[in-house]
Amino acid sequence: MVLSEPDALLAAARVRPRLVVMDARVQPVEALHACRRLKSDSFTGIVPVVVCARDEDITFAAAFDAKADEVLRDNINPIEVPLRLDALLRRSDRDTYVHPSTRLPGTVEIETEIARRLDLPEPFAVCYADLDHFKEYNDRYSYYDGDRVIRILAKILHDVVKGTCAEEAFVGHIGGDDFIFIMPVAMVSEACGEIVHAFDTLIPYQYSEQDRRAEYYFGKDRRGQLHKVPLMSVSIGVVTNERRKFSHSGQVSELATEMKSYAKTLPGSVFTIDRRGDLPLAEGAAAPASSDEPRVVEER
């Protein structure tokens, strides 16, 4: 679709296209001006822009100065064009799908990874990690300190999960203090136990000495009433396909959220593994204590 500069900017703001091509061969000033305006807006700035330019170096340099993501000159080999555009779109997807703070994959890649695992024969576990008392921490300290805590948790999850399972592991960031990691079932207890231990060891040092020594501070609830707030802890809810048959990733996400919510009702840092299911237990596996309640595997 060929549009004028105002129409192109308006269309990009409305529908966020996969790619915008600016022709700087006929009206270079107008094309580069439109490119600069498009890339300067936080909403449309993530849209990849390709500028078609003549062979002169001045146009080539000016296009990148206008924040273009790719420049195609007249003398380019036609075989290169689709290859360059495919690479540009892959880079754009990678940059869009990762969380800007932690650089971990976001919700789109999380759902894609769960769906991919459902098509494989190997059993896997989806683990939903969330911080307890994070909002109170942000209120007492600052969003800057809160962002540092999130990066600490992201680093712990990445290093432990990847260190335990290497290429078989996946770590994603839903947003805020919510994370998902996926790994083989056999490694869950070891990895979650190490995550809990590492977090509880490091997190006290994100508080003032007074709060760290007391192991609590006074904060206000939504009604303005003072109450004791303990130091942050991490809750991890785990769901596996050992005894369940999932038809789509949404079912896995829903159950993982349920398990995370259950874990958050327990004091301190904890991980819980869902042992309920609609499939029979494997030979030699221990049955859960109750068919209605998830079993607490580890609590610290």
More confident residue, 282 or 59: 59
Residue percentage of the chain with pLDDT more than 90: 55
Is pLDDT of 286 > 50? no
The pair of structure tokens assigned to 72 is 């195609």
The answer to whether 269 and 230 are in contact (CB under 8 A) is no
Is pLDDT of 287 > 90? no
Reported as type and span, the H/E element at residue 210 is: helix 209-214
Q: How confident is the model at residue 300 (pLDDT cuts 50, 70, 90)?
A: very low
The answer to whether 161 and 171 are in contact (CB under 8 A) is yes
Is pLDDT of 276 > 90? no
The answer to whether 50 and 85 are in contact (CB under 8 A) is yes
Q: What is the pLDDT of residues 151-180, one digit of tens each?
A: 999 999 999 999 999 889 999 999 999 999
Q: What is the pLDDT of residues 95-146, one digit of tens each?
A: 766 777 788 999 989 999 999 999 999 999 999 999 999 999 999 999 999 9
Alpha carbons 180 and 255: distance in angstroms, whole number: 13
Three-state SS at 297: strand
Q: What is the pLDDT of residues 66-96, one digit of tens each?
A: 999 999 988 889 899 999 999 998 888 777 6
The answer to whether 130 and 154 are in contact (CB under 8 A) is no
Is pLDDT of 5 > 70? no
Q: Where are the alpha helices (DSSP H) in 57-165?
A: 57-65, 80-97, 107-118, 134-140, 143-165
At 230, phi and psi to the nearest 5? -75, 170
The answer to whether 45 and 28 are in contact (CB under 8 A) is no
Mean pLDDT of the chain: 85
The answer to whether 236 and 260 are in contact (CB under 8 A) is yes
Alpha carbons 295 and 293: distance in angstroms, whole number: 6
Instruction: Set out the domains of the chain in order of their start, with CATH numbers.
Output: 5-97 (3.40.50.2300), 107-299 (3.30.70.270)
Enumerate residues 6+ apart whose C-beta is below 8 A from 176.
134, 150
Nearest to 219, CA basis, from 97, 136, 124:
136
